[in-house]
Chains A and B, each alone.
Chain A
Amino acid sequence: MLININNFLLALSLFFIVVIGSITVYSVTSIDLNYFFRFLTISVFSIILVSTFFYFVNFNRIISIGWIIFLLNILLIISVEFFGKEINGSKRWLDFGFLSLQPSEFLKITFAIFVIQYLRYFDFKFTVIRSVLLLAILVASALPIIIQPDLGTGIVFIAFGLLLLFICGLKFKYFFILALSFLVLSPVIYSYGLSDYQKGRILNWFSSEDTLAESWNILQSKISIGSGELLGEGFLGSKQNEFNFLPEADTDFIFSIYAEQFGFLGVALILILLGIFIFSGLSGFRQKNILADDYSAYYLGIYFLLVITFSFLINIFMVSGLIPVVGLPLPFFTKGGSSLLCFSIMLGFIFSAKTYLKT
């Protein structure tokens, strides 16, 4: 049964987030109304199309070729080094003419399918060897992204990979060991592993001085957000955007423009919608299914719900100056083929995972 209260709330909150996202993208990038409808249509259609596709495809079949998909993804990332398009000094995109894709974005999905395939084979029983192997594969597959160079996406990927392993039941001690070794190794990584640009970003986050060039974006983002005050400046009322004071207003910092236009009430609305989205989504995976003892679809569904939610939260923490700028797209706001396709696939999994178990 597809229509229940959880699914209804999930779809409704999602719909509003997508509409608000489209409105915001429209307000930032164009004063042409066609653009708004195009973005909205593309978003809605790609979500419906991709979701429907995964709804009808046999879940098990996808999982059973998990390692192949994962491997292909890694190869695509590596091929970016050779055939990729260079934007802002880093190669991340593959140009397919009609759209350019960022293969690293998809690694979050393909790694998850691979891990589920692997763990399902062992009935989700973690041994030391399996734990270490999965962690090693996680870190190893992040390396091609980090050397692109795209440290932000790499770190986010590792974080999401750990989230997946956490859901799957990786023992707590591994997380402690990882945290401890990270603390010990961080000075070494900082000294030898990072470019000056990356060091600047991290330093900026720790210091309160506004002298570093990096802080300009954050300052302007905070100014945008704050200027919204309670009620906001109204639709199309973002002066920070109108006069180009906020760089990357149409991608990473789009939420600041939203906050300037719709104020604290608008921000609260989005956060409430996000809350409805995640909690109605998660509660769908609460019931135990008597007919099946394979919960692979649950793992993926929960994981993708969390990825969307955390992406959202990380982005708004980032634009409000709480964490360093990592260049993480805001789901359903950021205009960008890869991220939209990515989130659509995740939604497809979320919806089909629920129904998969219901059959």
Chain B
Amino acid sequence: MKKTNFKILQDRTWLLSIVIFLLLVFALSRFFYLQIIEGRNLKVQREANINTFEYIYPKRGRIISSDGYVLAEDIKSYSIAVDLEEKPSVSSIDLLVKIYPERLTRSYVEESIKLSIKGVSQEVLIDGLNQAGISKFLVRNGELAGFSVIEKYNRSYVDHPSMFHVLGHLGYVNNSDINFFRTRIDNFKPNIWQLVGKSGIERVYEAKLQGVHGKKFFNRNARGNRKVLIDEESFKEGEEVVLSINYEAQSKAFDLLGNRKGSIVVLDLKNFSIPVSVSTPSISANDLKGISTVGYKALLDDSSRPLFNRAFMGLYPPGSTIKPILTIFAISNNLTNWTETIDDDGFFRFEEENRVFNAWKEGGHGITNLRKAIVESSNPFFMNLATRYDKDKLTAFFTDIFFDKTICIDCYPQLFSPLIDDVWKQKNFGSNIFKGDIINIGIGQGYLLTSPLHLALMAGIIAKKGEYNIPFLIQQNEPLEETKKINTNISDDDWSRIHEAMIGVVYSKNGTGYRINPGELKLAGKSGTSQLKKFTSREEYEEIRENPDLRDHAIFIGFAPYDDPRYAISVLVENGESGGAVAGPIAKEVLLELINAD
């Protein structure tokens, strides 16, 4: 029997009902799977979608001088930026331009808004506003919809240029910073830290100064132009670093050098900390903020090298200032004593190599013993003495007094004074050390090079009769825990005689430092000049007189008070010519400042 239309309709409706029922069950199980079985996982994915955070840059620790001056600190500054959530209205753009007419133009604001929308980034309109600057914005905040205020910290330094080389400066992290810090700081995060110390204290104490970033937790939308703050974890301010630098003395030392190139380093002999470390010329790190490429290049190309820290990096022949130091070596090795004399006629004839060395004083010093040789700075005496130096023993001695060694724990960057031995000379000149080389070294010329910091340390070692500590730049009130001593076997009497000779330099009429006239300061010292150009003719002499850059460097090392040494000093004045007359008086002023401050 043929099915009626109605029967067909009924049958097929039944079939479809079953299909729909199955589909409903299927749909239900699908949602059961997604929501009950996979629900937790999918929710985690949703949280990953919407949760985001931003770092809050911590306030960097302050740097304080030992006499309480704030040398570097973070100061809050404000920026005004385009708000991402709300497009600024025409009236609020007009108002903003009206408030800051000197910083903004209408077209600039409009262009920034376009960029902001296009790149979904907060374009900064005005940067580096202080409290007064931003308050102009904040009082009319209600009418300035579409703009927002961003707070951040800016590093601010003392304006006086004396501190730049010690403090260093900040800069954006680059590859060399990453290499430098990765091995030194456990939790170094190059992509988060952004600004790091490039030199000086800022670099060495980066981990301490940096602080810990805070976090702002947001819910964000898919485009990234809407953020809802849900939680905030505040930052931890960086620790304060107190320096051993005495800012009053430091700035005075800087001013004493004036417009001359040079360096002054003072050690506090209580613990060998550094109360003064100056290099001229210099700048203030504030001058580097927002500097143009051209301006920065000009600083780098400046022939006076203001960015170069002469105190830690400058290597100069120590000249005659090496004489008291080599006296330690000579006596320690029984190569001379305080009674031996030579006849100094102004020349030293080195028969082995058939050479004649001119001394600085025409006619010579006459009959000269060790004390006189130090006081009057006799070259022939020390050259003659140098002929007896054993190459290997000398190398050992130099190693002992910090050649080719770290001179300061936290001075960065610093150059080591090269250790002049056969290895060094083979590398640089392809031959071993000759006797003649040692004779030149004997009067602090030739290959011998030391940094002003190194000279100060050697002055300190003499002052403390062989005791020393490795210098450092942070405040440390405890005296030396254990005294280290250089490896010599000279008696306390010999030390006193060396001191006495260095007192003589300043106080005897014939002393090279007699003109210092130290007054109330009990100063002992040794002057020196480091020769840049030897002259053998009148013409050459004239040339040097005309060109100041060819004149000798003036050096003075010393300590005070001589009966109970408290400070050791090295002063170097480039092209200053006379250690006694130029560098010495500066040393006196600086030490007086320090001693009077105590």
With contacts A222-B42, A295-B5 taken as known, whether A167 is within 8 angstroms of B13 at the C-beta atoms is yes
A42 within 8 A of B: no
The answer to whether A264 and B223 have CB atoms under 8 Å apart is no
The answer to whether B42 and A123 have CB atoms under 8 Å apart is no
Q: How many residues of B contact A (CB 8 A)?
A: 37
B429 within 8 A of A: no
Q: Mark A306-330, 1 if CB is under 8 A from B, else 0.
A: 1001100100110010100000000
The answer to whether A282 and B24 have CB atoms under 8 Å apart is no
Interface centre among A123, A264, A295, by most chain B C-beta atoms within 10 angstroms, is A264
Smallest CB–CB gap between A152 and chain B, Å?
19
Provide the bound-state CA to CA distance between A220 and B42, in Å: 9
Q: Is the interface of B mostly helix, strand, loop or mixed?
A: helix
A61 within 8 A of B: no
The answer to whether A259 and B31 have CB atoms under 8 Å apart is yes
Smallest CB–CB gap between A246 and chain B, Å?
8
Provide the bound-state CA to CA distance between A286 and B35, in Å: 37
The answer to whether B222 and A244 have CB atoms under 8 Å apart is yes
List the A side residues contacting B10 at CB < 8 Å. Answer: 286
Q: Mark A241-274, 1 if CB is under 8 A from B, else 0.
A: 0111100000000000001000110011001001
B216 within 8 A of A: no
B355 within 8 A of A: no
B40 within 8 A of A: yes
Q: Is the interface of A mostly helix, strand, loop or mixed?
A: helix
With contacts A245-B221, A295-B5 taken as known, whether A226 is within 8 angstroms of B23 at the C-beta atoms is no
B49 within 8 A of A: yes
List the A side residues contacting B222 at CB < 8 Å. Answer: 243-245
With contacts A225-B35, A229-B35, A320-B34 taken as known, whether A239 is within 8 angstroms of B16 at the C-beta atoms is no
Residue on B nearest A239 in the bound complex, by CB: B50
With contacts A271-B24, A274-B24 taken as known, whether A285 is within 8 angstroms of B13 at the C-beta atoms is yes
A224 within 8 A of B: yes
A240 within 8 A of B: yes
Smallest CB–CB gap between A159 and chain B, Å?
13
Smallest CB–CB gap between B112 and chain A, Å?
24
Smallest CB–CB gap between B170 and chain A, Å?
37
List the A side residues contacting B30 at CB < 8 Å. Answer: 317, 320, 322
A299 within 8 A of B: yes
List the A side residues contacting B31 at CB < 8 Å. Answer: 225, 259, 264, 267-268, 271, 316, 320
Smallest CB–CB gap between A326 and chain B, Å?
16
Interface residues on chain A, size class = 35 or more
A337 within 8 A of B: no
Smallest CB–CB gap between B189 and chain A, Å?
28
Residue on B nearest A167 in the bound complex, by CB: B12
Smallest CB–CB gap between A6 and chain B, Å?
14
The answer to whether A229 and B36 have CB atoms under 8 Å apart is yes
List the B side residues contacting A224 at CB < 8 Å. Answer: 46
Residue on B nearest A314 in the bound complex, by CB: B23
Residue on B nearest A255 in the bound complex, by CB: B31
The answer to whether B35 and A230 have CB atoms under 8 Å apart is yes
Residue on A nearest B40 in the bound complex, by CB: A229
Smallest CB–CB gap between A232 and chain B, Å?
9
Provide the bound-state CA to CA distance between A9 and B140, in Å: 61
A-B contact pairs, 5 of them (CB 8 A): A226-B43, A227-B42, A229-B36, A245-B49, A271-B27
Q: Chain B: residues with CB nearer than 8 A to chain A?
A: 5-6, 8-10, 12-13, 16-17, 20-21, 23-24, 27-28, 30-32, 34-36, 38-43, 45-46, 49-50, 219-223, 226
Q: Chain A: residues with CB nearer than 8 A to chain B?
A: 123-124, 163, 166-169, 220, 222-230, 239-240, 242-245, 259, 263-264, 267-268, 271, 274-275, 278-279, 282, 285-286, 288, 295, 298-299, 302, 306, 309-310, 313, 316-317, 320, 322
